[in-house]
Structure 1
Amino acid sequence: MRESAAERHDRLLALVRERGTARVSELADRLGVSPVTARRDVEALAAQGLLDRVHGQVSWPERQGAAGGRTGEGLVLGLLAPSATYYFAEVIRGAHEAAARAGARLVLRISDYRPEDDRARTEGLLTAGAEGVLVAPGWRGPEDRLAYGDWLAELPVPAVLLERSADPGSSLDSLDRVVSDHGHGVLLALRHLLGLGHGTPLLVARGDSPTALAVRTGYAEALVALDVTAPGPVIDSVPADQDPEGFERAVRTLHEAVTSGRATAALVHNDVDAIQIVQRLAELGVRVPQDLALIAYDDEVAALADTPLTAVAPPKRQVGRHATELLVERLTEAQDEEAPRRHLSLLPRLRVRASCGAPRPGRAF
């Protein structure tokens, strides 16, 4: 398999870190590339602040803080995310903004939801000079966390979990983490729909990510907190492009619940699925919001639907920002063995749009 530029950069950084100083021609020879390629790699890494370059030589940068302790200036932070698009684009943006404010540099790796690659990619961040890491593992469910999680607690640098939780008492539970409180987000959605006079909303949700599973758990907890009973079981949703038949089954199940009168409201995870479900329901004669009040979960593209969708908006950018600030604090403050680790939960907001319609007359919650 052909070596990627990122992998070559990691090898180059490892060589410079080992030697302290090296000539570009030497690096080209050790890497097995042309001098032109090595020079371009060095220029790119120097532009990122990962190397110092002077007169044909490169050296590992010295980063000293001010008297009395380090500052964020010059720090290199690593970020491992399962994706750079949709939900995690905002998390990454928040982390980048916080790093820039601290004078730190953020280095990114993407796992593409392959948890078996998380450890190698995080080690690549360390090789690239990361002095602390923000990690959102590519887990899809609890089985991935069990199979590909323990290594996180063994990292030689400070680490903060992003939008991922751990089992109480596990080794990962002792790590700092910053997450969205999806249970609160679900509660906001159900309370809003009930307040409009609807019966208990149905949940239509995926089961292929930690967010989806948290929404499902939050739904069960919200039913108890609100002392209501669901009009039917959770409807399993799947991406229409990956499983057209499964998607159609989900739509038909929701259609039957609406036309039979069992449900007049639904919460759908996620935005893309919600928009496609609304479109397919319209083809089957069910209109939003006239026949079905609907709230989407994620608020990435919900506002762009033909009928703008009310949506639960997790604080994605703030998750990235607070996690980065916490990591910088860990790296710059004087070491204190008694300093407690932090589990920070940020509350989603409900953004009300047209898909819920007006309050239903004669019914109140």
Structure 2
Amino acid sequence: MTDQQHAPLAPARHAHIIAALERDGIVRVSRLTEELGVAPVTLRRDLQQLEEEGRLERVHGGAVPAEAARDEPAPAQTGGAIGVLVPSLAYYWPGVVRGMEAEARKRGLRLVLRGASYELQDERPVLERLIAADDIRGLIVAPNPDVTHAQDVVQWLDGSGVPAVFVERDAVVLPDRAPVENVTTDHALGAVLAARHLASLGHRRIGLILSRESPTGRKIVTGWATACEELGLAPADHFESLFPDRNGPGFATAVNAAIDKALDAGVTGLLIHSDPEAMAFIDIALNRGLSVPEDLSVVAYDDEVAQLFTPALSAVSPPRAAVGAAAIDLLAKRIADPTRPVHRVSLSPTMHARESSAPPA
């Protein structure tokens, strides 16, 4: 009997979809495919039927609640636009932005979106153009914290007179070190969840591989250290490695060195940030005659495309859409009440076990 024959019937699927909408505020066909074990075309028909019944509204790649399906009254319609500056429009951030779009639509707000890059030397001109170009009521920003002008951007935002929320970033305003309002994923917890997952399978020697220095990577390192202590691992029972850019000439050499290090140390389980690096790592390992998960179990961090790989990658999944929605919510409340206390919201990721992790051979 096939998996499709074991899939839930339409009423059960519809109930699952509505429950997910009530919980997360948005559903994605890719995630529903994994959760329900049915084809994307089936889910698109389900979403179409539920939309025709007035229970949701379809958007690109998924759906958001319909106005008539919400049990609570819609938030106040504040009007105007929200300026958004994120580092990339190609990876990780689109999911965050879709969450912003869904929440902004509920509130009668629209987004003015800009994508920067980690190489941008100063984000202030981009932010200045955003403020000057439109009816901007507030800003949601994810500036690069690892450049010399980082604190200048924070100080400029604080003095701009425009309400701002940082997303997936922590910052303080000098000289008093007042915290900046923000929404973040608890990436340290994500590392803990991955390490616990590997330990639950019986892995007693594990490794962490990071693709680059980044705000997310540093939090993962912190959580990894906490997890290794929690699990009672000795220094010889775990290792940490940092990869160069996967598009650079030294990437394959670094991967092979990490594989050698893992094999020499008897490591059987790995957490790799992020999905593309985990996929490249596995390809090189397979070329060397190793098997995943038989020789090495792999957990990816980000879960952006992890489930599309073969074997489907176990992964830590940050709540990207919920992060975006929470940022809009915080900003709308700040606009409505400039005197409210500073809020810093931390959302928990989830661990999805798939084919790339298994008990050690």
TM class by shorter-chain length?
Answer: 0.7 to 0.9
Preserved contact between residue 73 and residue 104 of structure 1 (Cα < 8 Å)? yes
Please tell me whether residue 262 in structure 1 is matched to residue 263 in structure 2: no
* CA drift at 1:111: 1.3
Among 297, 307, 310, the alignment partner of 2:311 is 307
Counterpart Cα distance in 2 of 1:144 and 1:182: 25
Among 183, 189, 195, the alignment partner of 1:190 is 195
* CA drift at 1:137: 0.7
Q: After superposition, what is the alpha-carbon deviation per residue over 1:202-252, rounded to whole angstroms, capped at 9, x for unaligned? A: 0000233211222122212222233323435411112321x232x123222
Preserved contact between residue 314 and residue 347 of structure 1 (Cα < 8 Å)? yes
Preserved contact between residue 295 and residue 309 of structure 1 (Cα < 8 Å)? yes
Structure 2 residue identity aligned to 1:209: S
Structure 1 residue identity aligned to 2:293: P
Please tell me whether residue 164 in structure 1 is matched to residue 169 in structure 2: yes
Structure 1 residue identity aligned to 2:357: C
* CA drift at 1:172: 6.6
1:116 is paired with a residue whose SS is coil
Among 91, 102, 122, the alignment partner of 1:117 is 122
Alignment match, 1:295: 299
- Cα distance 1:179–1:170, how it changes in 2: closer, same or farther (>3 A)? farther
Counterpart Cα distance in 2 of 1:172 and 1:94: 30
- Cα distance 1:266–1:175, how it changes in 2: closer, same or farther (>3 A)? same
Preserved contact between residue 133 and residue 160 of structure 1 (Cα < 8 Å)? yes
Alignment match, 1:74: 79
Please tell me whether residue 95 in structure 1 is matched to residue 95 in structure 2: no
1:124 is paired with a residue whose SS is helix
Please tell me whether residue 211 in structure 1 is matched to residue 216 in structure 2: yes
The higher radius of gyration belongs to: 1
Alignment match, 1:63: none
Counterpart Cα distance in 1 of 2:224 and 2:211: 13
Q: Normalising by the residue count of structure 2, what TM-score does the alignment of the two structures yield?
A: 0.73
- Cα distance 1:98–1:165, how it changes in 2: closer, same or farther (>3 A)? same
- Cα distance 1:116–1:255, how it changes in 2: closer, same or farther (>3 A)? closer
Please tell me whether residue 235 in structure 1 is matched to residue 236 in structure 2: no
Preserved contact between residue 116 and residue 148 of structure 1 (Cα < 8 Å)? no
- Cα distance 1:348–1:106, how it changes in 2: closer, same or farther (>3 A)? same
Counterpart Cα distance in 1 of 2:115 and 2:95: 14
2:258 is paired with a residue whose SS is helix
Q: After superposition, what is the alpha-carbon deviation per residue over 1:122-162, rounded to whole angstroms, capped at 9, x for unaligned? A: 111211221111111133x3756346433232221111000
Alignment match, 1:353: 354
Q: Which runs of 5+ in 1 are unaligned?
A: 1-69
* CA drift at 1:109: 1.4
Preserved contact between residue 87 and residue 116 of structure 2 (Cα < 8 Å)? yes
Counterpart Cα distance in 1 of 2:268 and 2:141: 40
Preserved contact between residue 172 and residue 179 of structure 2 (Cα < 8 Å)? no
1:244 is paired with a residue whose SS is coil
2:108 is paired with a residue whose SS is coil
1:355 is paired with a residue whose SS is coil
Counterpart Cα distance in 2 of 1:72 and 1:171: 34
Among 125, 128, 138, the alignment partner of 1:132 is 138
How many residue pairs match? The answer is: 285
Alignment match, 2:225: 220
Counterpart Cα distance in 1 of 2:294 and 2:219: 29
- Cα distance 1:300–1:173, how it changes in 2: closer, same or farther (>3 A)? farther
Preserved contact between residue 210 and residue 217 of structure 2 (Cα < 8 Å)? yes
Q: Normalising by the residue count of structure 1, what TM-score does the alignment of the two structures yield?
A: 0.73
Instruction: After superposing the two structures, state which structure 1 stretch, 185-194 or 110-119, moved more.
Output: 110-119
